[in-house]
Structure 1
């Protein structure tokens, strides 16, 4: 990955964390690495733990951020999420959300949230 790509990703994660904090979510962890996967943001929304996959794109990119999360990536997120839940002893509900961040030259970024992208299919 190029330095520019990595910097864009870091910027997107900063924007995502600020967005979630503005929603009143408590950010628990960021960039948690497990064998076979990484969790960008882990937050608490009410009584639910939320694993947040952040996808950052520049304006005009052909594929939207949320479209870049396919079945293989979802599987890795579920496995890493389970490891996180087990490691932290979390026994409450949890889900996976995607935050798609689009960077616009000279303007504020736009953020779209896609809630519970597995709809519980993999988490039970």
Structure 2
């Protein structure tokens, strides 16, 4: 596994733990649809929350959340609709969040949860 991929996977683990500790139930990790992947599909109460996780080792190239472009959000919306269709899921309120994870050289990961990014 490439170092970049390992950082991303670790960031997804950090994000899942962070959300679980705050009452979210993780329904899917790395769900693959026809045109991409959803990092985390979670539920909190009656809300389905699709979470895009962005992880970086620092902010030298900008904040991790800045990597979530309009095109990326459009793809996440389409994948979310596909997930709902394939799961015959009950009617949920749906929200897309971004969890930005920064992994400093020393100390704990820094997590920022941006809710309802659309």
Q: Which runs of 5 or more residues in structure 1 are unaligned?
A: 119-124
Label 1:20 to 1:55 Cα distance change in 2 as closer, same or farther (>3 A): same
Q: Which runs of 5 or more residues in structure 2 are unaligned?
A: none
1:111 aligns with 2:111: yes
Aligned residues: 117
C-alpha RMSD of matched pairs (Å): 1.1
Residue 18 of structure 1 corresponds to 17
2:108 counterpart SS class: coil
Partner deviation per Cα, 1:81-104 (whole Å, 9 max, x = no partner): 010111112222111000000001
1:31 counterpart SS class: strand
TM-score, with normalisation over the residues of structure 2? 0.95
Residue 63 of structure 1 corresponds to 62
Match runs of 1:1-124 below 5 Å: 3-90=2-89, 91-118=91-118
Post-superposition offset of 1:74: 0.6
**Structure 1 stretches (4+) deviating beyond 6 angstroms?**
none
TM-score, with normalisation over the residues of structure 1? 0.90
Post-superposition offset of 1:37: 1.6
2:85 counterpart SS class: helix
1:20 counterpart SS class: helix
